[in-house]
Amino acid sequence: MRLEYFQMVDRITALDVTAGQIQVAARVPDQSPVFEGHFPGHPILPGVLMIETMAQTGGWLVLAKLRFTRMPFLMQVEKAKMRSFVEPGAALEVSATLVHEGSGYAVINGLTRSGGKKVSEAEIRYGVVPFPNDTLRAAMLETARRVAVPEELLHAA
């Protein structure tokens, strides 16, 4: 994870677009300016960044399912729970399951585990729209390769 750049996902460890499931690995950095403020003397990953991590995880699932023809943007977070502190250096396993693929929107359930224990969960909804420009689409494809989205899912079938 590079918190300052909102790069929350390190790599995809399992992806099944037919079943609508994804799992990713995300290691919380040992050091980050984020921890200087959150909190002094008690560094923990902010809950909003746990939500962002689940949103990005589900986002990769939606992107792969749509073969990068459209972009999911976070619209709504429901039933978010932060169950325990996540400290610097923690190895997170984040999973997402597609609950519903609507017309122009998608819904996933996200779950974060650390050391086998649930640390956060949320239902996340996205507006799914055409890419606003080629720059963003190119950047998403570049990042997709970094996090190991299979090459065959990067292009329309």
Partner 1 sequence: MASTYETVAGIIADTCDIEPEKITPDSHAINDLGIDSLDFLDVAFAIDKAFGIKMPLEQWTQEVNEGKVSTDEYFVLKNLCANIDKLVAAKAA
Of the candidates 66, 60, 49, which has an alpha carbon nearest to the alpha carbon of residue 24? 60
Give yes or no for a contact between 58 and 126, defined as CB atoms under 8 angstroms apart: yes
Which residue's CB is nearer to partner 1, number 105 or number 131? 105
Is residue 38 part of the annotated active site? The answer reads yes
Q: How many CB atoms lie within 10 A of CB 145?
A: 12
Q: How far apart are the first and last CA of the chain?
A: 31
Of 38, 42, 100, 155, the catalytic one is: 38
* Residues from 112 through 141 that contact partner 1 (CB under 8 A): 125, 127
Rounded distance between C-alpha atoms, residue 105 and residue 77, angstroms: 13
Which residue's CB is nearer to partner 1, number 90 or number 106? 106
* Residues from 30 through 89 that contact partner 1 (CB under 8 A): 75-76
Residue 114: CB minimum distance to partner 1, A: 30
Which residue's CB is nearer to partner 1, number 9 or number 122? 122
Pairing type for strands 21-27 and 91-101 reads antiparallel
Q: Which residues bind partner 1 (CB under 8 A)?
A: 75-76, 100-105, 107, 125, 127
